[in-house]
Structure 1
Amino acid sequence: MNDVVNDKDLLNGRRFVMVSSTASSVDPVDPTRFEYEESGGVIWGSYAGDTVIHGHFVGTRDADRIELSYVHLLKNGQRAGGQSSSRIETLADGGLRLVEEFQFAGDDATHVSVCAEIR
């Protein structure tokens, strides 16, 4: 495991952009952007873009694993929420990538998304 994932507040202040998702197409002009905060392994943040007007998440990080619950309001007026489990990958340039498996509440299907750090 890379030492960077042992950083106590690794994700604090980092921003990510969604680059792919099996749940929907990613708008290349206005992809979903995520802002992370972390303190001692507790994670929270917000996101917006693409089909999402406003979203929030909260969870925990243990080394290179993130466990989150999320909820958001879509541009069509519907709400969505669920849970996710992500793996943090460190890229050669020192940036981070998040590979996330997620499920919407009430849906048994597992989706996968990839987010890249905005550098």
Structure 2
Amino acid sequence: MNDTDLLNGRRFVMISSTASAVDADAPTEFAYEESGGVIWGHYTGDTVVHGRFVGTRDTDRIELSYVHLLKTGERASGRSTSRIETAEDGRLRLVEEFQFEGDDATHVSVCAEVVP
């Protein structure tokens, strides 16, 4: 998966997470931008008021740092590593392992591409 700017303009919704229950009616939605392997974007939904991320992509591997504001007023930040997979219908899926800052536990989430 060497496509230049593969994730640019793509959107994903969280479909599962080991860190929390996912609200199927209002899941967290992620908007990705990419240029030359540099990735950045934002996300909102479910328990997140607003979040930002920045990182890099090398073939099918993404490494990000993120920070977000929760509806409770608390902030959360951390790092993640994702694997890009292609589903049978051609949409992309992101399988992410992440850790919150100050927490040694590794969590796993899965996000599916939203196709207009």
Residue 36 (structure 1) aligned to one of 32, 38, 44: 32
Partner of 1:24: 20
Partner of 1:10: 6
Displacement after TM superposition at 1:7 (Å): 0.5
Runs of 4+ in 1 over 3 A off after TM superposition: none
Confirm whether residue 65 of structure 1 aligns to residue 88 of structure 2: no
Letter in 1 for 2:9: G
What number of residue pairs does the alignment pair up?
Answer: 115
Letter in 1 for 2:107: H
Letter in 2 for 1:109: A
CA RMSD of aligned residues (A): 0.5
TM-score in terms of structure 1 length: 0.95
TM-score in terms of structure 2 length: 0.98
Q: What is the aligned-residue identity percentage?
A: 78
2:68 & 2:104 partners in 1: Cα distance?
19
Segments of 5+ residues of structure 1 without an aligned counterpart are none
Segments of 5+ residues of structure 2 without an aligned counterpart are none
